[in-house]
Structure 1
Amino acid sequence: MTSCTASPGYVRGPQMWATCMGRMGPMTDEGATITEWLDRLVAGVHLGPKATRVRQILTTQPTYCSYATAAEVADRAEVNGATVVRFAQNLGYPGWPQLQEDLRRVYLAHRYDARQPGVPDGDLIAASLTRDVANLQALQRSFDFPAAHTIVGAIRDAHRTVVVASGTHAVAAVAFAGLAASRGYPVTHEDRGGPHLANALAGLRAGDCLVAWSFWQHYRQTVAALRVAREAGATTCVITDTRHSPAARGADHILVVPTEGVSNLQSMTAATSVAYALFAELAATDPKTSRTAAHRVDAVWRELDLFTEDTPDHGGGRAPQQPKGSDKGSHGGS
């Protein structure tokens, strides 16, 4: 391997990936997709079964791999961390961080590219569903049940709980907060940011809880909210995609869920599944109170006439209206 005349620096193999005198000169095949880029990198390199699994994870989960540690990538590939490091070194890199740096560049260059290499006939619908199934299977294998029970306990015992999430990260958070509130728990969701978030955080005290849903790329206000809550003495819980994320740093309790999607988009399917799982466990901790609250919420919803008619119309006319207060089952805001 050729070395630079000045330190720090190196020039890596056939791709001439270089860092000399503090200047970075990556040769990441501008315009190449992740698959094409990896194909060129591994050309002529013998990959054993474990290295092949690492390469497959880089190809199918580039979003996650662009910020995950070597140990986390190894966990996804079902190998050990040393295998990931050796994989990078076999491609001419000093280690995983340098390979990841190039991977991130290629990924970001195609972040908004709608095409999905390797998908037969461009069937992204099937690819998306398959990816979500894989995420749920990975979640089931790696889910930290003790941490989940601890988070449920923290919410159950808290004087009040503030749920924080923004953008698409709020998909799961909205479901959890709304359902928890419908069962009588003092849970609110704040996604407006700015003064609204500041006011919600200012009231946090010891004995309160903050639950943040935050995935790559992390919103600054979500990370800041966790810091404010922690300084106020509140319990902090994070649902995120890696234990090393900015949101997870310093959190009391962490749940990690896979979020890889297709076309370089994140999927909130696994996160939403976790939201419903946490809610189900929370509601089950006090069935009587939960049931009473659900009936009350249902009655208020009906009093406000929020529901459309759902009785089948068999004769072409208007279906008979259910009398107010009739109990057809609790909707609870779902």
Structure 2
Amino acid sequence: MTDSATTSAAGESDGFETWLRGRVPERGLRSKGASVLEVLLTQPRRVSYSSAAEAAELAGVNVATVSRTAQALGFSGWSDLQQELRARYLSSLSAPDVAAAQRTEGELGGASLRRDLESLAVLNRRLDDQLIRTIAEAIAQARRVLIIANGSYVAVGSALGHNVRLAGYDATVVRDDADLANSVSRIEPGDVLVAISFWRLYQSTVTAAEEASSRGARVFALTDAASPALAAAAEQVVLIPAEGVAFFPSLAPGLAVAQAIVAQLSTVDPERTRKSIEAAETQWSRFGLMHRQPRRG
């Protein structure tokens, strides 16, 4: 697949070109900045894995111009722009094409761990504490919380739902599309929908987010690259790096954000959460779930 073909496919399915051009400031870019933008649009595969110096060479500018253009597009610098650019580029590819595009060398086990560490560092730098607080407080105030997750990212949804319930709040995790349609039919104002989808977004997730928003629910999306439709339906989008190695997106950053949300949730009403955890502990003992029982104080 050529870069130009990729750009076309991404523009049609995931709004790649629309997304990137939509970040251009109203005053536009200077001529050299426009050259950088043109390279981003026409050679996404190449620049997704290029250094700032390599991107500068492709655009015929210097490295400082690449950095300034990234900032003009709303990023802190080249590395942050490249992270989201790559996520959106990879979302346009099939699983075999993803593995071919990454061209990871050496032992993939170690490479996977290193990739996760890099992604968590990016996440730590970019994640807004206020955004996590907003989602946690919305969950605490909600009449009902619906969590959507598909594929391997069911693990993220299950972890989030399990711990939201443990913290003392009602939450339902939906994995099946028929169940999702039925659940969305009961959404009302005062509900919260958390949409978790990475790589190539599931259409059912986007449809559910749009429907929930139209019904007055608060919608939050956890994703690596929100499509224009998902972004329009969501009150807030949490952008999470999810690039793995080989064919597999990484689960680690998504799980880290799920844990951050429930950690913040536990501070909204600490007494409620304490009572909920104590009640759960009593039932764990009653059902004999634990191999080792805790000491009684």
Tell me if both proteins adopt one fold, taking TM over 0.5 as the criterion.
Answer: yes
Q: Please give the secondary structure, in 1, of the residue aligned with 2:97.
A: coil
Q: Deviations over 1:117-162 (max 9, x none)?
A: 352xx31111000000000000011112222211111111111111
**In structure 1, how many angstroms separate the alpha carbons of the residues matched to 2:132 and 2:215?**
23
Q: Please give the secondary structure, in 1, of the residue aligned with 2:209.
A: helix
* Residue 50 of structure 1, aligned match among 52, 56, 68: 52
* Residue 269 of structure 2, aligned match among 278, 286, 302: 286
**In structure 1, how many angstroms separate the alpha carbons of the residues matched to 2:215 and 2:4?**
47
The answer for the alignment partner of 1:229 in structure 2 is: 212
1:170 equivalenced with 2:129 (yes/no): no
1:152 equivalenced with 2:154 (yes/no): no
Q: Deviations over 1:40-64 (max 9, x none)?
A: x89xxxxx96242689xxxxxxxxx
**5 Å matches for 1:87-126?**
108=94, 110-111=96-97, 113=99, 117-119=103-105, 122-126=106-110
**5 Å matches for 1:73-88?**
77-78=79-80
Cα distance 1:297–1:76, how it changes in 2: closer, same or farther (>3 A)?
farther
State the percentage of identical aligned residues. 30
Q: Deviations over 1:234-264 (max 9, x none)?
A: 1111111124454323211111110011114
- Whether the aligned pair in 1 keeps the contact of 2:146 and 2:172 (CA below 8 Å) is yes
1:305 equivalenced with 2:291 (yes/no): no
| Paired residue type of 1:230 | S
Q: Please give the secondary structure, in 2, of the residue aligned with 1:247.
A: helix
- Whether the aligned pair in 1 keeps the contact of 2:149 and 2:196 (CA below 8 Å) is yes
- Whether the aligned pair in 2 keeps the contact of 1:161 and 1:209 (CA below 8 Å) is yes
- Whether the aligned pair in 1 keeps the contact of 2:95 and 2:247 (CA below 8 Å) is no
| Paired residue type of 1:175 | A
**In structure 2, how many angstroms separate the alpha carbons of the residues matched to 1:49 and 1:155?**
40
| Paired residue type of 1:159 | R
| Paired residue type of 1:226 | A
| Structure with larger RCO (C-alpha < 8 A, sep 6+) | 2
| Paired residue type of 1:137 | A
Cα distance 1:72–1:173, how it changes in 2: closer, same or farther (>3 A)?
farther
Cα distance 1:283–1:241, how it changes in 2: closer, same or farther (>3 A)?
same
The answer for the alignment partner of 1:90 in structure 2 is: none
| Paired residue type of 1:134 | E
In terms of mean alpha carbon deviation, does 197-206 or 229-238 score higher? 197-206
**In structure 1, how many angstroms separate the alpha carbons of the residues matched to 2:101 and 2:51?**
28
The answer for the alignment partner of 2:176 in structure 1 is: 192
In terms of mean alpha carbon deviation, does 71-80 or 274-283 score higher? 71-80
- Whether the aligned pair in 2 keeps the contact of 1:50 and 1:79 (CA below 8 Å) is no
| Paired residue type of 1:117 | R
Larger Rg over CA atoms: 1
1:182 equivalenced with 2:184 (yes/no): no
Q: In proportion to residue count, which structure has more helix?
A: 2
CA-based RMSD of the aligned residues comes to: 3.5
**5 Å matches for 1:315-326?**
322=293
1:213 equivalenced with 2:196 (yes/no): yes
Cα distance 1:263–1:49, how it changes in 2: closer, same or farther (>3 A)?
closer
| Paired residue type of 1:201 | V
Q: Deviations over 1:133-192 (max 9, x none)?
A: 000000011112222211111111111111111111222111011111112101111112
- Whether the aligned pair in 1 keeps the contact of 2:184 and 2:208 (CA below 8 Å) is yes
| Paired residue type of 1:111 | D
* Residue 257 of structure 1, aligned match among 212, 235, 240: 240
Superposition TM-score, scaled by structure 1 size: 0.61
Superposition TM-score, scaled by structure 2 size: 0.68
Q: Deviations over 1:205-253 (max 9, x none)?
A: 1111111111121111111111121121111111111244543232111
- Report the Cα offset of residue 306 of structure 1: 2.7
Q: Please give the secondary structure, in 1, of the residue aligned with 2:237.
A: strand
- Whether the aligned pair in 2 keeps the contact of 1:201 and 1:228 (CA below 8 Å) is yes
In terms of mean alpha carbon deviation, does 282-291 or 139-148 score higher? 139-148
| Paired residue type of 2:281 | D
- How many residues are paired up? 237
- Whether the aligned pair in 2 keeps the contact of 1:138 and 1:258 (CA below 8 Å) is yes
